[in-house]
Structure 1
Amino acid sequence: MIGSAATARTKSQSFYGHFYIEHNRGHHVRVATPEDPASSRYGENFYQFWPRTVGGSLKSAWNIEKKRYARKKQHPFRIGNDVLNAWLMSAVLWGAMIAWLGVGITPYLVIQAVVGFSLLEVVKHMEHYGMVR
């Protein structure tokens, strides 16, 4: 899956690589339904939406990969797991940045990650606000 690797690399700076899995294999299937954590509800402001979508998307991505490996009768904790692969790329990138610039860079990495994925989530909130099917 060349596309998934490329997208996971672009999300590695924000430790949000699971987004690719959830967005394409979860959100696109369940958009505008109560099961979709990435669809904002009518009357739900961004601060209510943010924790639900961040936690729900992570949980959804993990469950998608877990089911994929269950079909293969394999344990999901393996390098081919797209969620773990994305996290590994993030850990390597962050580790390299900390090794190069020192541990003092860590708060800046965390801040840029939270701001980065929050901007993504605010766009999703606006795009899907109140949609129901």
Structure 2
Amino acid sequence: MVHWLKYTTSFVLFLLAYMAFTHTNWWCWSALVYAWLLIPFVELLQQPNTANLSETEEIAAKKDRMYDVVLYVAVIIHIVLMFVFLHSLQTTGLSVAVRIARIATMGLLCGTFGINVAHELGHRINQYKQAMAKIALLTSLYMHFFLEHNRGHISGWQRLKTPGTASLQVSVYRFWIRSVIGTYVNAWRIANKYMQQQGLPVIHYQNEMLQMQVIQLIWVMGIWFFMGWKIALYYIVTAIIVFFIIRNRELY
């Protein structure tokens, strides 16, 4: 059996998102119903599969480039759909319900493909794979995740002290505020410390965190300039949705 093929089934969400961005009827809600209602319901009925790959299968999987190809295709489709989404909101006469559905759908895409695929690519050592991870994170205005997760959350000596890890019995609201703000602040701390170790000032073009802020600002301002402030505002709302999705997932 070709194990990587099963991961392409997630592309169904891309198709439903495209339908949501190009239709004004019930299709607008199809991706949300699929991801937040249908899949959880099916998982309740299914028995969990606890089997892992054998040692031989794991070695073969690591050598199979098709796993990487699935990730590359996901990033490309995700970016294309981002522009389809932004263009769709420029359509005149859209109802409030349609706008809400499309914004929530794009937030869902960014919180699933944008973050999860970037998370996977961000752990690779190849620069072009890490670049693709940062591009995917850009769509969520969450580029600092690459820096904080790889150099803070994962490499930290005590994960329970990192802002991205929830303490026992912490409320979802308290964790969300702490993690969103804490992760951002910690990313700056990591980047600044690296600059100091290199003997360079914090405010320097080589500061990776500073680079990310400039790139994200240019991206948002570009949307504002070419599509208007309303579209830029809608886009920012999708990023806020992503913050809820990723942090609520880590809580559980």
Give TM-score scaled by structure 2 length. 0.47
Paired positions, count = 126
CA contact (8 A) 1:31 1:38 kept: no
Over 3 Å counting, the alpha-carbon distance change for 1:4 and 1:12 in structure 2 is same
Partner SS state of residue 168, structure 2: coil
Question: For residue 101 of structure 1, what is the aligned residue in structure 2?
Answer: 227
SS at match of 1:14: coil
CA contact (8 A) 2:160 2:166 kept: no
* Secondary structure of 1:30 counterpart: coil
Q: 1:30 aligns with which of 156, 168, 180?
A: 156
**Cα-to-partner distance string for 1:43-95 (whole Å, 9 max, x where unaligned):** 11211100101111111111111110101110122222221222222112111
Q: CA deviation at 1:14?
A: 2.3
Rg comparison, structure with higher value: 2
1:29-48 map, 5 Å: 29-30=155-156, 33-48=159-174
Name the amino acid aligned to 2:194.
R
* Change beyond 3 A, Cα 1:40–1:32: farther
| Distance verdict in 2 for CA 1:31–1:56, change over 3 Å | farther
Mark the runs of 5 or more structure 1 residues left unpaired by the alignment.
Answer: 127-133
SS at match of 1:122: helix
- CA distance, structure 1, for counterparts of residue 246 and residue 129 of structure 2: 19
Question: CA–CA distance in 2 between the matches of 1:114 and 1:108?
Answer: 10
Q: Tell me which of 89, 95, 118 is aligned to 2:215.
A: 89
1:116 aligns with 2:242: yes
The alignment status of 1:15 with 2:155, answered yes or no, reads: no
Query: What percentage of aligned pairs have identical amino acids?
Result: 23
Greater RCO structure (CA 8 Å; 6+ sep): 1
Deviation at 1:32, TM superposition (A): 5.9
CA RMSD of aligned residues (A): 1.8
After superposition, the Cα gap between the structure-2 partners of 1:100 and 1:23, relative to the gap in structure 1 and judged at 3 Å, is same
Q: Is the 8 A contact 2:134 2:143 kept in 1?
A: yes
CA–CA distance in structure 2, aligned partners of residues 32 and 121 of structure 1 = 19
Contact 1:32 1:39 in 2 (8 A): no
1:85-121 per-residue CA deviation (whole Å, 9 max, x = no partner) reads 2222211211111111111213202210100122111
Amino acid at match of 2:189: N
Please say if 1:80 is aligned against 2:221.
no
